[in-house]
Amino acid sequence: MVRFPNPVRLLILAVGWVLARVGLVAPERVRRTTDLAWPRIVTGLARMSKNAVDVAMVGLAIGPVAIAGIGFASPYWGVAFSLGGGMAGGTIALVSQRYGADARDELGQAVRASAAVVVAVSLPVAATFWLFPADLIAVMTDDARAVELGADYLRILAFGVPFAGLNLVGSRVYIGADDAWTPMVVRGGGALANVVLSGVFIFGLDAGVVGAAVGTVLANVLVTATFVAGLVWGRLPGVGDLPVQVNPVGTYLDRETIVDLVRIGLPVVGRNGIWTVAKFPMLAIVALFGPGVVAAYVISRRIWGLMNTPGWGFGLAASSLVGQELGTGDERAAEEYAVDIVVFSVATYVVAAALVGAFAEPIVLLFVGDASDLSIPVAVALVYAACVAAVGQGVKAATAGPLDASGDTRWPFYSQVVGMFGVAIPVAYLGATTSLGLMGLYLSFVAETTVPAVINYYRFSTGKWKAISREFRPDAPADD
């Protein structure tokens, strides 16, 4: 299959080669990191674009109150990704080390156990969303119309919760096996299908926020089915042979594997859940500024989601490449990869922030049909704050990668707790209740990334993660 040049890949390679020319990173690591990172970044761009388009479409079809309704529902949908992503953190750690050691039987067991755990933890969440959507939305607002629209959206999303978690596991399996292309094709295609389906339901069938939710659920089902087919058959039409094939007839409840998954994944669930949980008080605080600021905040978070996609790529590239080196027992090479990826990540975030900052206002206007809307200046200012926060995000994401690969997942969790609940939320609250005003929201954005970045980098610099990785390495040695 011919793989055409991708502008994202070319841009990342350009940044990497500049760094290599000045001696900041090793050229060979630029290539391997780029090969793993760029497909994940494209996947992230596709998914975040889908989220942004959903908001833009319902905003154009219904108005700012629909944007607010989806915004109030988004923390709950984020629960699915916190659970799935957390367990997938255990998946990539176990898969990458077993792939590096060529322990294929243990790799298959890790995949089956991951699927079982994700389904078990996501079904109760789905049931809660279906049964109590209005009560959940009303936690953050007393606007009756926003509650109604948010509840309609959340009730339908309930059906997609287990599939969203399984999609993350499927993606991490391939990335842990040095294949970021397949998840990009599958999940990127799912995001495109989501946009098309949502557009048909919202505008073609006049289904509003319900249409946006139906499109999201159907797209997640499609992606899950594709991942299952690829893992079982070891190949996919248009993609070819895949590096991993898993026998679906096997033990799903292996106690030792589940214990390792939970031990590694639980702190990742906590870390991912920090922002999800933090959205509740944060949105309640933002609501104190008024509905216009809520809409501006939701728009800026969607743009920030797009800006944040390099971290997805570099974080997962670090987890895979560092995990593979740890699986072979080469701790020095693992650390060298990690250091280079941190530098590479920060430089890429700086470039992305410069580009977004230069076009902040035109980007914001894509979400709002009326150029005189008073929420536009606030949204633009929040986007500028996100550009400043991008440098910290580059460090935070890249240093979390090697910690995840080694199984040392607690410190990134701690850093997220301190950053959000210790600094970001209190600063935002001061803005809403004192003369600090909107500046509190801007400072909150920056604190959200810089505080965890400092803590993650400190833990990484101690080198203790290398010793921790020895507890999770496979027994089977790699074949010569």
**pLDDT at 447 (0 to 100):** 92
* Structural domain range at position 242: 7-469
- Residue 431 in domain: yes
Amino acid at 412: P
- Residue 272 in domain: yes
- Residue 308 in domain: yes
Domain count along the chain:
1
Amino acid at 112: R
475: its two tokens: 């027994």
In sign, the C-alpha dihedral spanning 341, 344, 350, 355 is negative
- Residue 235 in domain: yes
457, 462, 464, 465 alpha-carbon torsion, rounded to 10°: 20
- Residue 163 in domain: yes
Residue 240: Cβ-neighbour burial (10 angstroms; 0-12, 13-18, 19+): exposed
Per-residue pLDDT of the chain (480 residues; tens, 9 = 90+): 344 457 778 888 888 889 999 889 888 888 888 887 877 787 777 766 666 676 777 776 776 677 777 777 877 877 777 777 777 777 777 777 777 666 667 777 888 888 888 888 889 989 989 998 888 888 777 778 878 888 888 889 889 888 988 888 888 888 777 777 788 788 878 888 888 888 888 887 877 788 888 888 898 899 999 988 888 887 787 777 777 777 777 787 878 788 877 777 777 777 666 767 777 788 888 888 877 788 788 888 888 888 888 887 888 788 778 877 887 777 888 888 888 988 999 999 999 899 999 998 888 887 765 555 556 788 889 999 989 998 898 899 888 888 887 877 788 888 988 998 999 999 999 999 999 999 999 999 899 999 999 999 999 888 888 888 777 766 534 443
**Cα separation of 8 and 230, whole Å?**
25
**pLDDT at 374 (0 to 100):** 54
Residue carrying structure tokens 């999940």: 187
**pLDDT at 371 (0 to 100):** 53
**Cα separation of 289 and 387, whole Å?**
22
Q: How many residues are present in the chain?
A: 480
Strand partners for 236: 240
**Cα separation of 480 and 322, whole Å?**
20
**pLDDT at 473 (0 to 100):** 62
- Residue 19 in domain: yes
- Residue 475 in domain: no
**pLDDT at 221 (0 to 100):** 92
Nearest C-alpha neighbor of 380 from the set 364, 366, 358 = 364
- Residue 2 in domain: no
Amino acid at 282: M
